Each structure stands twice: as structure tokens, then as C-alpha cells.
A and B are shown apart, each in its own frame.
Chain A
Amino acid sequence: KQEVTQIPAALSVPEGENLVLNCSFTDSAIYNLQWFRQDPGKGLTSLLLIQSSQREQTSGRLNASLDKSSGRSTLYIAASQPGDSATYLCAVSLMFSGGYNKLIFGAGTRLAVHP
């Protein structure tokens, strides 16, 4: 059974720091891995999608890497800002049934960036 774990569960950093969020998964037979951002009381916003054949994706100050063989992904946030404060979720896509792929989510890392 696929399990997704995110460490740390919560993180508080001063503005300007570079930081790394970790995601690990138990079964390497994934199609892709997606990082989401969730603001309090809001839905999920997709940040980066890494296909299983890719090693990393970049968007602005965000960089996500994927190592399928070791079951790990990291989300790197450069020069953090207070506006980055949110919960970050990672999810892996795998085959479910009837040809449908489902997402298995980690519990998230709650990030607070203080001025």
C-alpha cells in the first residue's frame, strides 16, 4: 500500500531563508508527483508536476526534485517570503482501477515565514 510522508509537519523560518520540504513515498511505481499549496480555508493550488521520467521541475523560486528509486521528493523554496506561508502538500499518482489514476496525499508541511 502506497504511503506518503512529509517531514517536517511544521516549519517556522525568518524571511529570506532558503528552505527544503521533504516528501517520501513507499512504492516507486508512480506516474508522477505533484506539489500543492493550500492556504487556510482554501482549496489546493498546483505548484509543480513532475512526471516519473523527470528529475526536477522549476517555477520561479520553487524547485522540485524527484528520485523515484529512493522514493523521495524535495521542494526547495528560495528566498522565502511571508506570502509563502501556507501548507504544502505532495501527492503521488498511481493506477487505481478501471484505468483511473488517483492521487495519494501526504499530510502536509505547515510553513510560516515571519518578517
Chain B
Amino acid sequence: NAGVTQTPKFQVLKTGQSMTLQCAQDMNHEYMSWYRQDPGMGLRLIHYSVGAGITDQGEVPNGYNVSRSTTEDFPLRLLSAAPSQTSVYFCASSYRTLSLSEQYFGPGTRLTVT
């Protein structure tokens, strides 16, 4: 199994540009989520999905959209990039609800918005 994969690894955007961060997992996990990691703040939940066709907002959803058309893929879209979105983005998945199972993380995408 490849686990959780993310592309690209690095990205530089100009303010106002849009892009999609890709995330895929091959473990047949129902639960997938996106986090952002900023210095000194730990990881914060952006959006999550409990299955194909079902998504919901996390703690910091503004400026981001998600969709879940398949079990495997969970892309994160930045509609109009802002410097405040400069961060490291992690995708994660788990087999079941987090009360019962551990969460697996991808390697991250380092995004810089100028």
C-alpha cells in the first residue's frame, strides 16, 4: 500500500490564484480530512469527509472547498489564494471514527502565497 499520498510537495502561488491540492489513499478508509500546520500552532482541521459524497467544515474552513466523489480521493481547492494561506497542508485518513482507530497522514504540501 502507498498509504496517503499528496501532490504537489511544494507550490508557490500569487495572491488571487486558485489551485487544487491532491490527496489519495489506497487503504479503503472512509474518513479523510485536511489539516494545516502553522509554526507554534499545531495542526488545525480545515475540512473532513466521512464517506464518498459527504463533506463538512472543520475549524478553519474559510477560503477552502472540498469534494469527495470517490472513497480514494479528497482534493482541497483554494479558490483565491491569500498570504494567510501560506502553510503546510496535511491530508489524513482513518478506517473508522477516530474514537476507535488511529489516523494516517500524508507527507504534506508546503504552500507559499506571495
Which A residues form the contact surface with B (CB < 8 A)? 4, 31-32, 34, 36, 41-46, 49, 89, 91, 93, 95-108
Q: Contacts A93-B98, A100-B56, A100-B97 known; A4 to B90 CB distance under 8 Å? A: no
A66 to B80, CA, bound (A): 43
Stretch at the interface among B14-22, B36-44, B67-75: B36-44
A93 to chain B, nearest CB (A): 4
Q: Which residues of A contact B108 (CB under 8 A)?
A: 41-43
Interface residues of B (CB under 8 A from A): 4, 31, 33, 40-45, 48, 50, 56, 58-59, 90, 92, 97-100, 102-108, 110
The minimal Cβ–Cβ distance linking A17 to chain B, given in whole angstroms, is: 26
A11 CB, nearest partner CB in chain B, Å: 16
The residue on A at minimum CB distance from B38 is A107
Chain A residues whose CB sits within 8 angstroms of the CB of B110 once the complex forms: 41
Q: How far is the CB of B98 from chain A (nearest CB, A)?
A: 4
**B104 and A31 form a contact (CB under 8 A):** no
What is the interface of chain A mostly: helix, strand, loop, or mixed? strand
**17 residue pairs A–B, Cβ–Cβ below 8 Å:** A31-B99, A32-B98, A42-B108, A43-B107, A46-B102, A46-B104, A89-B42, A91-B43, A93-B98, A95-B99, A96-B58, A97-B56, A98-B50, A99-B97, A100-B50, A106-B42, A107-B40
- A97 and B31 CA atoms in complex are apart in Å by 14
Residues B48 and A100 in contact, CB atoms below 8 Å apart: yes
CA distance A108 to B103 in the complex (A): 17
Nearest chain B CB to A31's CB is how many angstroms away?
4
B residues in contact with A31, CB < 8 Å:
98-100
Q: Give Cα distance in the complex from A91 to B42, angstroms.
A: 9
By Cβ-Cβ distance, the 3 closest A-B pairs, closest first, are: A101-B98, A105-B42, A31-B99
| Bound: A42/B104 CA distance, A | 13
Chain A residues positioned under 8 Å from B104 (CB to CB): 46
